[in-house]
Amino acid sequence: MGYTEEDEKIIGEKFDELLEHCQELCRNEENLNLIKKAFFLAKEAHQGVRRRSGEPYILHPLAVALIIVDEIGLGVKSVVASLLHDVVEDTDYTVEDIKSMFGAKIASMVDGLTKMAGVFNTDTSKQAEYFRKVLLTLSDDVRVILIKIADRLHNMRTLGSMPPDKQIKITSETIYLFAPLAYRLGLYSIKTELEDLSLKYRFPDQYNEIVQKLNAGEADRTKFIEKFNKPIVDRLTESGIDFEISGREKSIYSIWSKMQRKQIPFEEVYDLFAIRIVFKPSPLIPEKSQCWHIYSLITDIYKPKPDRIRDWVTIPKANGYEALHATVMGPDGTWAEVQIRSQRMEDIAERGFAAHWQYKQATLSSDEGEFDRWLKQVREALNSPTENAVDFLDNFKLSLYTTEIVVFTPKGETRTLPQGATALDFAYDIHSKIGNRAIGAKINHKIESIFSPISGGDQIEILTSGTAKPTPEWLEHVTTAKAKQSIKIFLKKDKQNNIERGIKIFEEKMHEFGITPSARVFRKVLPAYECATKDEFYSKLGAEIIRLDGLEKILRENSAKKMLKFWSLQLTNPFKFLSGDGKKKGKERDIDASDTEFVIAECCNPIPGDTVMGYRDPSTGKINVHKTSCDELTRLAAQHGENIIPVKWSSHKAMSYLSVIEIRGIDRIGILLDIAQVITAELTINIRELHIQSHDGIFEGRISLYVKNIQDLKMIMDKVRQIKSVEKVKRIIHPNKE
């Protein structure tokens, strides 16, 4: 079925809009005809197809192409690839067809954007394989990634038409990979919108609450910004500086993240906006000098906070971001952040890689910036062997969303590493061979452990030994993708060598006894040496962790000792089960506590009232129930979205759930009695464990208690907050990990 007359009218209007925005790109007839040719092919290929929202499918590639032009700033080939990005995947056209009509480069870009299908291992995530293929295009053409981000942005803008489980899958992918990737490629405005849209669909109530409170306080903020800006505007104008000044609100997602991270209400988030000054530089004075000149003029008016100066004009961020940030004390005793940048810096901050590349070509610069160095590292990682696509994706993500520090080599060269990195990360950043042989470090000329954290400005020298080698424990002391990957590669190779050595030792020993290794033999041997698999047994044997001194006695025993495993699971149910497409699957049913199909996830320990989502474990078939805010669920949904299942609590059974709260306040006589009185006497809640300690006039502790639902828990926390001297009460989600 074709499109209606109204559909055709809308499609024509959107195409005309695209052509209008492509005028700068289409200065010759050839480019214009190429875009038209791509549009008419895509329209014919998607003829009659509609999106879930009901609109013609061709509007999607048109919207992606418009984002590419307006919000990222790529060229004609990227526009053409955007229009064609779903043609090979969803229609009968092949990459060869695209190549014959549009050339090898555009065909390569379209191929990079085409999802893999039917070639996945059963134990490997389809999404991770797909992400890996897309990321591999970084090796030759970053534009493919930029188009993919534009594609994701439009999908997020139209996510309202998708069912809840699909929204969880798509928002998880977005927050787990696409938003960090947009950040790393310098696309700040797109990164912010992706995060805000993820929050909107993941936690709509909290999103709407923040929006309402921002709107309610808008008039006061506008008044403050005008008052703050006036003396700055006067001073910069007097100095003959050509500039624009504006107040930028903090994103909804970053406000929400701060509220979650610090467990504070909206009213306690004070840095809701920043003042941005963008100047047109004088060609006779370096931009860096002009940034510092403007800074000095501002700090003549408002006093700066010395520990809050961020100098990214001297050493830019790894994604190319340049600016000078300072926090100053404004009117009425309010701290305000000021961002100072040139027009070039502003373009790069807003449009990321594309602007970075255009400026580099315009100045004919051959300097390798931080962004180029990061891209080089990514390419090296992509060319290294990895165990599977999920490991690859986890390792790649480590290189995306990090706060960076700059450290120095003994010769004074700078290296950019994520905050929280150790000397071992630095060693692997220099070279994997240095990392593998590291035994210690000189940090600022003082000998320290190889696991010591490093700080910005440190000068580091790595001490090595020919006998040193990585151990599995090293993985706990590194944060960078390169270090983790290098250690895993070494351990995998070392394990294989140990297995081969172990097989040889075991077979020689069995030959002495005149016994042929068999399943019956291993049923006795593995439990005796506390090994779960033959590979583990061989590996430990080859590494000399275990010896075969008592093997003969073990083999003589009539039967291996039976190992019994006891466990108990209190499944405080119940759930109403929905199928993956959001439709009721047969009759709604309640799951009682003896039904083990559902398992409460220990990583987030949800209780009734928490918004939850299910993840079907492919190995067991059981459904693990997570809070929708759980980081582990986000990772699983991003990598194995096909296993996400909507579930919700049923309300007809009242059972108790163990929860843990943390309290802190000013110590006084009787505080413990007051806390216990409120919880047990007033609220009749059963306390399982109460641990309080006092030091220097401050008390802090944890209370484990049984509650029926999230409303009970919130009521308890509110009551405890009202107790005199109690300053802070928060729920502990991972009590066993802290």
Neighbours of 357 (CB within 10 A): 18
Please name the residues in contact with 668: beta carbons below 8 A apart, sequence gap of 6 or more: 724, 725
How many angstroms separate the CA atoms of 247 and 334, rounded? Answer: 15
Over its C-alpha atoms, the chain yields an Rg (Å, rounded) of 30
Compute the distance between CA of residue 254 and CA of residue 257 in angstroms, rounded to an integer. Answer: 5
17: annotated active-site residue: no
Strand pairing report for 657-666 and 698-707: antiparallel
In contact, 524 and 554? CB cutoff 8 Å: yes
Q: Would you list the DSSP string of 587-651?
A: S-----TT-TTEEE-TTT---BTB-EEEEE-TTT--EEEEETT-HHHHHHHHH-GGGEE-EEE-S
Q: Calculate the alpha carbon distances from 1 to 49, 50, 707, 716 in Å.
A: 8, 10, 56, 59
Is 595 noted as a catalytic residue in this protein? no
Catalytic residue among 7, 17, 55, 90: 90
Calpha distance 427→419 (Å, rounded): 15
Catalytic one among 8, 13, 16, 89?
89
Tell the residue number behind the tokens 């077979």, with chain if given: 507
Calpha distance 1→301 (Å, rounded): 68
Tokens standing for residue 84: 């064609």
Strand 623-627 relative to strand 598-600, pairing: parallel
SS (HEC) of 483-537: HHHHHHHHHHHHHHHHHHHHHHHHHHHHHHHCCCCCHHHHHHHHHHCCCCCHHHH
| Residue numbers annotated as active site | 89-90
